[in-house]
Amino acid sequence: MIKNNMKKIIIVGMAAIVIIGGSIYFLGNKKVHDNKADENYVRTIVLTKGSLDETVSTSGTVSSTDVSTISTNLTNPIKTVEVAVGDQVKEGDVIVTLDSTDIVNQINKAKETLQENINKAYETYQNAIAEKEKRYTEMKTAESNYNSKQASYNSAKSNFDSAASTVNSYQSTYDNAKAAMEASGQTLNSAQTAYEAKKQEEGGNCTSESCTSLEKKYNDANQQFEEKKKALNDAESALNDAKSRTNYDSYLAAYNSANEQYTAAKTTYEQAQQTFSTADANVLSTKEAYEKSQTSDELTTLNEQLENCTLKAKSSGTVTSLNATVGSKPSETIATIQDTSKLKVNITIEEYDMQKISEGMRCIITSDATEKQMEGKLTQLSPGASTSNNAGNSANASTFSGEVEITDPDENLLIGMNAKVQIVISSLDNVYTVPLDAIEEKEDGSSVIYVKDEETDEFKPVTVTKGEENDYYAQISGDQLKEGMIVRASAVESEAVESVSGGMEMMGNGAEFAPNEQMQERPSQGGGPRQ
């Protein structure tokens, strides 16, 4: 969890605590003492250039970036367990097998049923082929008969049309003569009716001029009717003569007969075509049914279940959990496989730090279980917050989850361990840094550090300009600064002086310290030297 106070600035490769590589300066005699009296020394640092990193601190649990689980929907009892926790496996290796006896029996029955269906579908398909061939023969016979009747019809029609072309003119003359005679007959009837009515009106004697006029009209109409009748008889004789001369009636009868046979043959041929088309479509549908009969959804499902009875690793890695016992039913998660060479840290970030960080930032990872400082990268930030109510935090403070990929994991770092993470927000390179305690702030606003004079062994003030700082260190610059200077760890002399009991072994230029004794607590992890 990120600390709740202020930002951290990590000193990398710039200054080391005296027992890590600095020197210890004695206020007393510099030679080794054989007595047991206490000796005083001054805590110092060696001034060097390095990098100063501004970071956000957090922590989390180590996990793998490549995790796969083995599970199944089947409830078949477990038959064999091929691995144990800690085993290394490759993708495709068998982890567990399930009892497949019932599935195999169902597959055998499904195969028998499938074969029966195939045989029936094949028989139906063959019958459809035979029916199509039969209907094709019938269609071709009907086609041949149709073509023959069409030829006869065309010949009969040609003969009839030739005779009709001669007869038609006589027929037209006859039709005109008949129409003229019928019109003349109507005129005659009208004249006769008028004449007889007038004559009866005059007592049977036609003596008046009007009656004589009607009589004359009647006689003229009668004469014209006789003339039209004779013309009709002459036209009829000429028509009959033309029909006889051209065999019109014989050709007409032959045409009518040929037309009737042609029409019947055409109908039969069209019906045969339709029957063949139906038979052809039936062949296609039965063929499709036959092809479909060779597969079975049930058998496919059973084969998939049989294949799923062998549970294999989905990825390469280490078996980190296993919940499988021979004879028992499979659990929800049978095994977990993780690649222990690809690690990440699952972290949480306080809401007030979210604006400072972004995916892709460099991270420094440390763990109590390893001595190595590891590099990493912030690979994921949750877009939504979760609410927590932890001691030391604001009530119901929001936090965000994230993931840090470790790019050079230590072999001693294991999945499930806790790790500390420093997310590097910014970095200053090639700068001098000293502990904050080593800087004295003057009343005039200037800053000084105390540097050991090599000639007098005294610590003298050196004016510096202070830059970035945090709880532990500050960046300094100045014309008098140079690498290798011995700087007093505290500007207040009394706070820099420590006492070591006599009789302890010597170090550096005459300082003594007890073996394995830590002379000064180091800053938070990540603050060590990075040259």
Assess contact for 340 and 99: CB atoms under 8 A.
no
Domain ranges of the chain: 8-65+342-512, 69-99+309-336, 103-293
Cα separations in angstroms, 435 against 1, 11, 65, 285: 25, 9, 38, 90
- What pLDDT does residue 340 have? 87
Assess contact for 14 and 51: CB atoms under 8 A.
yes
Residue in 458, 509, 495, 520 with CA at minimum distance from that of residue 23: 509
Helix (H, G, I), strand (E, B) or coil at 55: strand
- What pLDDT does residue 502 have? 53
Burial class (CB in 10 A: 0-12, 13-18, 19+), 166: middle
Q: Measured at the alpha carbon of residue 355, what is the angle toward residues 352 and 359, in degrees to the nearest 5?
A: 120
All residues at 6 or more sequence positions from 212 whose CB lies less than 8 Å from its CB, including other chains: 206
Residue with tokens 């700082």: 469
- What pLDDT does residue 130 have? 97
Q: Would you say the pTM of this structure is higher than 0.75?
A: no
Residue in 116, 47, 25, 19 with CA at minimum distance from that of residue 510: 25
CATH number of 8-65+342-512: 2.40.30.170
- What pLDDT does residue 207 have? 83
Distance of CA 290 to the CA centre of its chain: 35
Bridge-based pairing of strands 506-507 and 67-70 is unpaired
Instruction: List the chain pLDDT tens, one digit each, 531 residues.
Output: 333 333 444 444 333 333 333 344 444 333 334 444 567 889 999 999 887 878 899 999 999 999 999 999 999 999 999 999 999 999 999 999 999 999 999 999 999 999 999 999 999 999 999 999 999 999 999 999 999 999 999 999 999 998 898 898 899 999 999 999 999 999 999 999 998 888 888 888 888 888 889 889 999 999 999 999 999 999 899 889 888 888 999 999 999 999 999 999 999 999 999 999 999 999 999 999 999 999 999 999 999 999 999 999 999 999 999 999 999 999 889 999 999 889 999 999 999 889 989 999 999 999 998 888 999 999 999 999 876 555 445 556 789 999 999 999 998 999 999 999 999 988 888 999 999 999 999 999 999 999 999 899 899 999 999 988 876 789 999 999 999 999 999 999 888 888 766 544 444 333 333 222 223 333 333 343 343
- Give phi and psi for 346, each to the nearest 5: -85, 115
- What pLDDT does residue 381 have? 93
- Give phi and psi for 523, each to the nearest 5: -65, 180
Assess contact for 478 and 42: CB atoms under 8 A.
no
Residue with tokens 């058998």: 299
- What pLDDT does residue 288 have? 96
Residues paired with residue 41 on neighbouring β-strands, in sequence order:
26, 498
Which sign does the torsion angle of CA 357, 359, 360, 365 carry?
positive
H or E element in which residue 27 lies: none
The third-level CATH classification (topology) of the domain covering 69-99+309-336 is OB fold (Dihydrolipoamide Acetyltransferase, E2P) (2.40.50)
**The token pair that represents 273 in the structure block:** 């075509």
Burial class (CB in 10 A: 0-12, 13-18, 19+), 136: middle
The whole-angstrom separation of Cα 80 and Cα 377 is 41
- What pLDDT does residue 204 have? 83
Which sign does the torsion angle of CA 275, 276, 278, 282 carry?
positive
Helix (H, G, I), strand (E, B) or coil at 165: helix
- What pLDDT does residue 38 have? 60
Provide the 8-state DSSP code for 17. B
The whole-angstrom separation of Cα 309 and Cα 75 is 10
